[in-house]
Amino acid sequence: MTQEIKTDRSLTDLGEFGLIDLIARKVRPSSVVHIGIGDDAAAFHWQPHCLALATTDMLVEGVHFDLSFCDPFRLGRKALAVNLSDIAAMGGRPRSFLLSLAIPNEFSVDFINDFSSGLLEIAEEFGVTLIGGDTCVSRSGLVIGITLYGEQEEQKVTQRGTARPGESIFVTGYLGDSALGLKLLQRGLRQGEVIDRHLDPTPRVHEGLALAEAGLTCSMIDISDGLLSDLGHITGKSAMGARLHLDKIPLSREYSAHFGSESQERYLLALGGGEDYELLFTAPAYRKCEIEMLFRKLGTPVSEIGEITSVPGIRLFSAEGETLQGIAPGYDHFLSRKGNRS
Residues that bind ligand ADP (CB under 6 A): 20, 23, 37-40, 99, 101, 130, 132-135
**Nearest residue (CB) to Mg ion, 134 versus 247:** 134
Q: Which of Mg ion, ligand ADP, none sits in contact with 39, Cβ below 5 to 8 A by type?
A: ligand ADP
User: Minimal distance in Å, beta carbon 100 to ligand ADP?
Assistant: 6
Is there a contact between 186 and 342 (Cβ–Cβ < 8 Å)? yes
Query: Can residue 16 be called a binding residue for Mg ion (CB under 5 A)?
Result: no
**β pairing state of 313-318 and 219-222:** unpaired
Closest to 14 (Cα-Cα) out of 120, 107, 131:
107
Query: Can residue 134 be called a binding residue for Mg ion (CB under 5 A)?
Result: yes
Query: Can residue 265 be called a binding residue for Mg ion (CB under 5 A)?
Result: no
User: Minimal distance in Å, beta carbon 134 to Mg ion?
Assistant: 4
Q: Which of ligand ADP, Mg ion, none sits in contact with 112, Cβ below 5 to 8 A by type?
A: none
Inter-CA distances, 124 with 59, 80, 128, 144, 333, Å: 21, 11, 6, 19, 31
Closest to 50 (Cα-Cα) out of 98, 99, 97, 87:
87
User: Minimal distance in Å, beta carbon 67 to ligand ADP?
Assistant: 18
Residue type, 185: L
**Nearest residue (CB) to Mg ion, 112 versus 212:** 112
Please give the Cα distance from 132 to 99 (Å, whole number): 6
In angstroms, what is the C-alpha Rg of the chain? 21
**Nearest residue (CB) to ligand ADP, 130 versus 231:** 130
**Nearest residue (CB) to ligand ADP, 51 versus 58:** 58
Non-local (6+) Cβ contacts of 91 within 8 A are 152, 156, 157, 158, 208, 209, 211, 212, 213, 217, 220
Q: Which of Mg ion, ligand ADP, none sits in contact with 128, Cβ below 5 to 8 A by type?
A: none
Q: Which of ligand ADP, Mg ion, none sits in contact with 265, Cβ below 5 to 8 A by type?
A: none
Please give the Cα distance from 202 to 144 (Å, whole number): 19
**Nearest residue (CB) to ligand ADP, 37 versus 209:** 37
- Segment contacting Mg ion (CB under 5 A): 17-25, 64-72, 122-130, 131-139? 131-139
Residues contributing to the site for Mg ion (CB under 5 A)? 134
